[in-house]
Structure 1
Amino acid sequence: MASTAQAATGDENDCKKHPGARILHGPHKTIGGVEAWMVWGLCTVFVVWLFSIQTGYAVVSPEIQKTASLTVAQIGLAGSIYTWAFALCQFFSGALLDRFGSRPLLAVAVAFVTAGAFLYAQTDSMATLIAAQIVLAIGSSFGFVGAGYIGGQWFPAARYGLMFGLVQSLASLGSAFGQPAISWQLQHVTWQQLLNGFGAGGVVLIVLFVLLVRNPSTGPAQLAQTTARPSRPPPLVSSILRDLGTCFRNRNVVLSAALAGVSFGSMLAMGVLWGPRIMEARGAGTSLAAVLTAMSWLGLAVGAPLFNLLSDHWNNRRIPAVVGVLLQAAAVALLIYLPKETNSVSVVTIFCVGLFAGAHMLGFTVAGESAPGRILPDSPSLGDYGGALLMMPILLVLGALAGFFIKDTAKARVDA
């Protein structure tokens, strides 16, 4: 918070010297005002953009596989490396935002994703693909959590959940329409040109973030917290380890992480990598497979706010989460094990995978992406996917079981 106060003071001094700079550089005056929506909107665009790159991997990976002469196992391994790197960086991204604020870090994060997109476009070997995935993961780890941080800093606390849900819904909608759009564009441009286009969009975002994104000014409540803290903050790594220890001692945090982790991890596994491959194994062409997989993201766009609304309506957090994850497990199992002749049912099923994944609403994980890449043959059939992805519905059921032991945190409503 001290760094936030210093940044706000520095911005105010700059505005006194250069009054015309207040529009772009001055601290905000009104929580939830025009500037708050502008900053939040820009961060949401960042999330939608990086989600499009992430989910575009589902469409582009077959082309990369041909160009770089890779196997299905190698493509799956690269996707797993991204997720592991993302999960590791996630431990630090939130702590860094708390320490330094959004002003320097989000622009740097956009720069990392931009560099990853350009590196992605140069993929001609497994080593280049892995390097691109790691660079992308570093920048992407600040995306969703950064948008949540902005929502908490620039809007009233009562609207935090709503703002976070809106980010998830918009990102999911972007992925739902982005996958078919990417598939259509690949009919007119090469995958290298497409990824370079994403990189060019990132350059524009970097400029906008540098010009428009500022740390919010320090209000009375933040000033009180700042004066109560030591002037010299503890070392970053030790403070992160201390906070992690605090989290792991909280049973609800651990169990909620398990439930949300397997839910969203399985969603990513289907929406980013394995969904199109399963649909292709069912006989769909590459373009149609991308459109069908996009239905899962459309389902998540509906499910993310829906489960929040149901939870508030029933005044219960645990039961909707557990039921949602169990239904997601059933949908994933049906998608994998339904006979090949039931393709029309699979369209509804993959929508339900995303719809019920809305029960997670928080948490990023490596679940569901590690095992398949090592045990699939070079030309897998639908039956091969059934064996390789068996772990996914099992993990979802285990995550739902963990949810039964969560102490419900919903507060009792007081009727007027």
Structure 2
Amino acid sequence: MSTGHAAYHHASKGWFSGHRVIGGPEAWLIWVLATTFVVWLFAIQTGYAVVSPDIQKTASLTIAQIGLAASIYTWVFALVQFFSGALLDRFGSRPLMAIAVAFVAVGAFLYAGTTNFATLAIAQTVLAIGSSFGFVGAGYLGGKWFGAAKYGLMFGLVQTFASLGSAIGQPVILAALDNLTWQELLVAFGGFGVLLVVLFFAFVRNPAPQPGEPVEAAHGNVFGEIFRDLGKSFADIRVDLSAVLAGASFGAMLAVGTLWGPRIMEARGAETGFATLLTALAWLGLAIGAPIVNVVSDRWHSRKWPAFWGLLLQALAIALVIYLPVEGKGFALVLMFAIGFFAGAHMLGFTIAGESVPGSLVGSASAIVNGVCFIIGGLLTSIPSALLPDEPTLADFQSALWLLPAVVVVGALAAIAISEKPRAAAAVDAA
């Protein structure tokens, strides 16, 4: 073989196969696409809160039906979430992730065409099915394309962009509605989804198997294999404890950042606009805290202790928001940011779960953690609601919201109970 031919052969091999390994240019392209998917679906979810009054008016729905539609999303998401990770483990990202994006795009178009409750309920169902693959799918792809050592960091960065999307989503949507109808806005969301589907089909896949990496053969009983994978993940006590710590932290963050933080500040006399700003600031804090906690964890050579201290400080910040009899906007801004920042510790739950199982079960373990986060978030939103009167005062909020810091403390105790796994062993298991 001539020198020129050999060089060409080497370059061709490097482009068509070398860039298909972890950490290469294709890894970053796929991670960016997966993260864009998460930010996009978060924007649609955020947008529901903004456009639901217009949907209610246009479709002649009651407020109870609007609330029921939101609950349908929660129920479907929580159910499908536990299966999404196992499906990714079994079939890989291609074509599952592209199909998930397509479901969200169809959900957006159904939203735009809402004329009655049935259409809205179907839209919520379709959207929830696709969305259940978003966050876990992005984490799964990050783990596959960047390796076990960077799994937690890449997952934290996904949470950063998702949180930033939540922080700016509502103001951007409100501004867009000055020039578009809500139907046009949702059609635009759906149109972007179509483009994203094409890009996912074209580019998103798992990296080529590494030398010596076992390739698991497909089996006939798909559901049996899924339940087997979930059972193996649930059987690991470190996965269970990591789900508790992550669920307690993110569940409380979700409850405070979307509902109770602004409400209790309004009860203290804050204006609605300022209360909305507090919500954005909490998500901004999470955007900054999510990747930092993994860096701190690596420097401390520990997962449990950064998680413990993060959750403990988050519980303290929530308790101060609820009970400290201090007025002032500066105080509220600092505390709401602190709640989100320290809630970044919940990302260690995903890291611990991913390091606790073989690489073939990373998706299942991540889905369990994210599912528990979602379930606890829903409970911490709904349970205090049932304890409050129709027109609650500050004292009523303080009587009902003790559950939030208490649950986060339980999560901190779960973090202490997690045994530290040697980093070398964790990397071998996750490979």
TM-score, normalised relative to structure 2: 0.77
Counterpart CA distance in 2 for 1:383 and 1:118 is: 43
2:412 aligns with one of 393, 400, 403:
400
Q: State the partner residue of 1:409.
A: 421
Paired letter, 1:196: V
| Contact map agreement 1:183 1:290 (CA 8 A) in 2 | no
Partner of 1:345: 331
The answer on 1:41 being equivalent to 2:27 is: no
Distance 1:339 1:76 in 2: 33
Aligned match of 2:139 in 143, 148, 161?
Answer: 148
The amino acid that maps onto 1:325 is: L
In structure 2, relative to structure 1, the CA distance for the partners of 1:258 and 1:27 (3 Å cut) is same
| Deviation readout 1:205-261 (Å, 9 max, x if unpaired) | 122222332343334334xx12xx4x4425222222223332333222211111111
CA contact (8 A) 1:39 1:213 kept: yes
Which region of structure 1 is more displaced relative to structure 2, 76-85 or 308-317? 76-85
Check 1:287–1:316 CA distance in 2 against 1; reply closer, same or farther (3 A cut): same
Aligned in 2, Cα 1:246/1:209: closer, same or farther, shift over 3 Å? closer
Is 1:312 the counterpart of 2:298? The answer is yes
Amino acid at match of 1:213: V
Write the deviation string for residues 108-153 of structure 1: whole angstroms up to 9, x where unpaired.
Answer: 1111112222333455666555443332221111111111222222
Output the CA distance in 2 between the equivalents of 1:274 and 1:76.
17
Percent identity, please: 60
Please show how residues 361-380 of structure 1 align to structure 2 within 5 Å. Answer: 361=347, 362=350, 363-364=369-370, 365=373, 366-367=375-376, 368-376=380-388
Q: Distance in 1 between matches of 2:275 and 2:48?
A: 13
Q: 1:176 aligns with which of 152, 167, 170?
A: 167
Contact 2:290 2:345 in 1 (8 A): yes
1:340 shift after superposition? 8.5
TM-superposition CA deviations, 1:39-85 (whole Å, max 9, x none): 211111111111222334454456556766544x7766654543343
Q: Relative to structure 1, is the Cα distance of residues 383 and 113 closer, same or farther in structure 2, using a 3 angstrom cutoff?
A: farther
Given candidates 116, 130, 136, the residue that maps to 1:139 is: 130
Q: What residue identity is the alignment partner of 2:404?
A: M
2:233 corresponds to 1:247: yes
- Looking at structure 2, the residues matched to 151 and 209 of structure 1 have their Cα atoms a distance apart, in angstroms, of 15
1:159 aligns with 2:153: no
Alignment of 1:6-405 (within 5 A): 29-61=20-52, 70-71=62-63, 78-122=69-113, 128-222=119-213, 225-226=214-215, 229=216, 231-233=217-219, 235-281=221-267, 287-338=273-324, 341-361=327-347, 362=350, 363-364=369-370, 365=373, 366-367=375-376, 368-376=380-388, 382-405=394-417
Q: What is the aligned partner in structure 1 of residue 11 from structure 2?
A: none
TM-aligned CA deviation for residue 378 of structure 1:
5.3
1:411: how far off? 4.3
Query: How far apart are residue 103 of structure 1 and its match?
Result: 1.7
Q: How many residues align?
A: 385
**Mapped partners of 1:286, 1:197: distance in 2:** 29
* Counterparts of 1:243 and 1:322, CA distance in 2: 28
Task: From the superposition, tell whether residues 189 and 279 of structure 1 become closer, same or farther in structure 2 (CA, over 3 Å).
Answer: farther
Judge conservation of contact 1:59–1:179 (CA < 8 Å) in 2. yes
* Aligned partners of 1:55 and 1:272 also within 8 Å: no
Q: Secondary structure at the match of 2:382?
A: coil
Instruction: Measure the CA separation in 1 of the matches of 2:190 and 2:263.
Output: 26
The whole-number CA distance in structure 2 between the counterparts of 1:381 and 1:190 is: 36
**Distance change >3 Å, CA 281–CA 358, structure 1 → 2:** same
Contact map agreement 1:76 1:373 (CA 8 A) in 2: no
Q: Structure 2: 5+ residue runs without aligned partners?
A: 1-14, 351-368, 425-431
C-alpha separation in 2, matches of 1:194 and 1:340 = 41
Look up the equivalent residue of 1:239 and give its one-letter code. Answer: E
Please report how far the alpha carbon of residue 345 of structure 1 lies from its aligned counterpart in structure 2 after TM superposition: 1.7
TM-score (ref. length: structure 1):
0.80
Change (3 A) 1:340 1:205: farther
